[in-house]
Structure 1
Amino acid sequence: MLSEVLPAEAFGFLLVTIRLAALVMVMPILGEASVPRRIRAGLALTISLIVYSSVREMLPPIPDNVFGLLVVMVRELLVGLIIGLATRILMSATHTAGTVIAFQTGLSAAQSFDPAQGSQSALVAAFMTYIAITMIVVLDLHHLMIMGMAHSYQKFPVGEILAYADYATLITEMVSDSFLLGFHMASPFIVYSLIFNLSLGLISRMVQGFQVFFIGMPVNIFIGFSLMMILIGGMMQLFLDRFRELLLGFLG
């Protein structure tokens, strides 16, 4: 009797672990490169053990052949990667906003490591990403992502055929929503930059020989920092509200 139960339990736990391990390794906050791999692997196994007890009835039986087993495992890996990638795309809105702000305020040359991108980016973009990560953890939004791991079995049941067109549409919508959110966050700086540059152009036309670049550059940076100090709270509130809304809509 035990020899019949153990393979089925091991197969079910393996399927859950494959999906959730892919999620943990790709998701923002939980899967950042700064988190040691052993901690991420331990977190994935712990979450898999908890989720498995609640979704074991939804799991299919063991396939009759090795090919069927590989197909199911690869499908679960792809589902985990797609869900994790979608949430990371949402997180990139802060990078988009920070990059636009840096270009508008003349700070694009200042580079720093961006944890969300895993590479060098504009200092303002990295700064906004760090703030977003901190606020997500403080407001327990990372719990929402963990809950979404268990809910993913209701929206993406195990064993169903992957609708690649639907997934492609979903990812496209997530990219457009994230890009639009980033521009919404940076919109005050775009308006400011337009007015500021037009003003400098008018001054250079009216006052011949006026050193617009040497005067405008430090003024632009000073006003940019001042606007950042005033608007950072509203921008982060907009990001967190939209991040929660988009995440709830995606996870169902």
Structure 2
Amino acid sequence: MDVLSPGGDYLKFFTSIPGLTPMALFSIAMLGLFRIAPIVSIAPFLGSKLPGPAKIGFAMTLTVLLLPQMIASSHLTLAFNLQFIGYSIKELLIGVIFAILSSIPFYIVQATGVIIDFQRGSSAMQATDPLLQAQVSPIGILYNYLLVVIFFQMSGPFLFIDMLMQSFAIIPVDGFFSSNFFSPELPFWQMMAGLLTKFTLLAVQFSAPSLVAMFMADLFLGIANRLAPNVQIAFLGMSIKSLLGLVLLWAGWFFVLQQMANQTALFFQDIVQVLPSLRT
């Protein structure tokens, strides 16, 4: 019976594997924990700012759930030696990479809010985002919270756990990277190289409705100032820009949220597609 199927017997899976010693089981579980722990500590949608004991407990729970996949894709001869230390460093590196990649959509929407608030002239009204522990503008915090809600609504955590399971099948806990891992032609590195461009492009796209409104307000206020130089247009400009920015933000609300969900799903699908290039 398949342990990963709904009717699988979890405990029977471990007892049915010949040669699975307690030391090998513990070693595989520890290596899996080294990959999962950085993700739980960094990824915003997994409660990155929860208390330490809660994060450790959640990471250990995920490790236990994914342990059959780790065992199915690895050898059973692991022991605590220098090779185990090398595997541990590799697992920590993979965990950090996955954690950063999974956090990028949330940083994108955060940057979107910062751009809008900067153009509105309210960038000084910054507060600490509890999820990312960074000084962010009010709209940036709002967008970040909304994306977390959207991410859970679209079953994002399950998509991420599925991606994590595939990573254990492609890069086992007792296997190193492929020989061409550092090749610039690798699809994984090509995706990483385009992250900055994609980050900037999406942040500008999400903030485009408000940016266009505030740009048009600046244009008409400049024309009005030329026609009536004695009128203090600058004092009215900030209020008008802020109001128009919020109005266009409200008008394009559904479109922006829909694009956030679509781009987040596409981003995680891109990660899943480039994972096979890392096969050991």
* TM beyond 0.5: yes
Q: Any residues of structure 2 matched to 1:1-252 within 5 Å, and which?
A: 5-33=21-49, 35-62=50-77, 66-158=81-173, 159-161=175-177, 163-164=181-182, 166=186, 168-252=189-273
Structure 2: runs of 5+ lacking an equivalent: 1-17, 274-280
TM-score (norm 2): 0.81
Q: Deviations over 1:106-134 (max 9, x none)?
A: 22121122244311111111111111112
CA 1:196 to 1:156, structure 2 compared with 1: closer, same or farther past 3 Å?
farther
| Structure 2 counterpart SS, 1:29 | helix
RMSD across aligned positions (CA): 2.2
Q: Deviations over 1:147-184 (max 9, x none)?
A: 22212123434312362455654433334323321111
Determine if contact 1:89/1:175 at 8 Å carries over to the other structure: no
| Structure 2 counterpart SS, 1:120 | strand
Of 8-17 and 106-115, more deviation after overlay is shown by 106-115
Percent identity between the two aligned chains: 20
CA 1:46 to 1:117, structure 2 compared with 1: closer, same or farther past 3 Å?
closer
Of 163-172 and 85-94, more deviation after overlay is shown by 163-172
Determine if contact 2:36/2:59 at 8 Å carries over to the other structure: yes
Structure 1: runs of 5+ lacking an equivalent: none
| Structure 2 counterpart SS, 1:92 | helix
CA distance in 2, matches of 1:39, 1:161: 31
- The number of residues matched between the two structures is 250
| Structure 1 counterpart SS, 2:45 | coil
CA distance in 1, matches of 2:106, 2:246: 23
Instruction: Letter of the 1:117 partner, please give it.
Output: L
| Structure 2 counterpart SS, 1:210 | coil
Instruction: Letter of the 2:135 partner, please give it.
Output: Q
Q: Deviations over 1:5-61 (max 9, x none)?
A: 11111111111111111221122210421x222222111111111111123121234
Off by >6 Å, runs of 4+ in structure 1: none
TM-score (norm 1): 0.90
| Structure 2 counterpart SS, 1:14 | helix
Q: Deviations over 1:193-231 (max 9, x none)?
A: 222111111110011211111111211121122122222
